Structure 1
Amino acid sequence: AGDGTTTATVLAQAIVKEGAKAVASGMNPMDLKRGIDKAVEAVVAELKANARKVTRNDEIAQVGTISANGDAEIGRFLAEAMEKVGNEGVITVEEAKT
């Protein structure tokens, strides 16, 4: 849907698979962990460098819409909820009982 969930899952699966192969072929697991940690630091730094702040209600709605597989109504609901709770607030979604 554009929020990176599938990409993150595929990458995590590949890291686990290749890491297991490396350890099975004799790599020190702690060296593997240190390598993964360094890679994570580099990726996080790059993401922060390319990040763009989203502050306007319509921008928040757009991000919500993408995360909800294109459902604009959910995007609007999310933007409204964010407006009420603020950046540090918590939004809990529960299934209705009716």
Structure 2
Amino acid sequence: QLADAVKVTLGPKGRNVVLEKKWGAPTITNDGVSIAKEIELEDPYEKIGAELVKEVAKKTDDVAGDGTTTATVLAQALVREGLRNVAAGANPMALKRGIEKAVEAVSAALLEQAKDVETKEQIASTASISAADTEIGAKIAEAMDKVGK
């Protein structure tokens, strides 16, 4: 349920979510980790799952500063498919080992494709894409240039 609430915010055309608070005015956001923090479920098993997904979102935010919605959707898919495979007779420990191997392979492939962002123009381009605003991208590149990065 938590991932379903968060995944509508995914991508550049992602939608906003209105968070109802127990006190105060509702909040409108498209930040996956903010949405995850506010969701509380009654069912004890769903609550455990939601807490695990919240931890995924928080760790992603702490490490990368972004990508919380993607991490949440991936966690949902891993749990769904893992449970489906276990129900079909798969060994849970073999599944875990397979997931760990897949993580290593994907990480290696991403590192191989990664490019360092070094010039002011590259920083401006990357920041403009992230912010969906060329003016903000230029200001970020200028700030990075001034602080020596």
Structures share fold, TM-score greater than 0.5: yes
* Unmatched tracts of structure 1, length 5 or more: 87-98
Q: Distance in 2 between matches of 1:75 and 1:12?
A: 31
Question: What is the TM-score normalised by the length of structure 1?
Answer: 0.64
In structure 1, the partner of 2:144 is 82
* Unmatched tracts of structure 2, length 5 or more: 1-11, 13-66
Greater RCO between the two (CA within 8 Å, min separation 6)? 1
In structure 1, the partner of 2:106 is 43
Tell me the CA shift for residue 11 of structure 1: 4.0
Tell me the CA shift for residue 82 of structure 1: 2.9
- Relative to structure 1, is the Cα distance of residues 9 and 66 closer, same or farther in structure 2, using a 3 angstrom cutoff? farther
| Aligned-residue CA RMSD (Å) | 2.4
Amino acid across the alignment from 2:125 = Q
Q: Distance in 1 between matches of 2:135 and 2:126?
A: 12
Tell me the CA shift for residue 66 of structure 1: 1.2
Q: Distance in 1 between matches of 2:106 and 2:141?
A: 28
Q: Distance in 1 between matches of 2:123 and 2:92?
A: 41
In structure 1, the partner of 2:117 is 54
In structure 1, the partner of 2:87 is 24
More strand as a share of residues: 2
Q: Give the secondary structure class of the aligned counterpart of 1:55.
A: coil
Question: What is the TM-score normalised by the length of structure 2?
Answer: 0.45
Q: Distance in 1 between matches of 2:96 and 2:137?
A: 38
Q: Give the secondary structure class of the aligned counterpart of 1:78.
A: helix
Q: Distance in 2 between matches of 1:14 and 1:26?
A: 18
Deviates more, 1:20-29 or 1:49-58: 20-29
Q: Give the secondary structure class of the aligned counterpart of 1:17.
A: helix
- Relative to structure 1, is the Cα distance of residues 46 and 26 closer, same or farther in structure 2, using a 3 angstrom cutoff? same
**Is 2:38 the partner of 1:13?**
no
Amino acid across the alignment from 2:118 = T
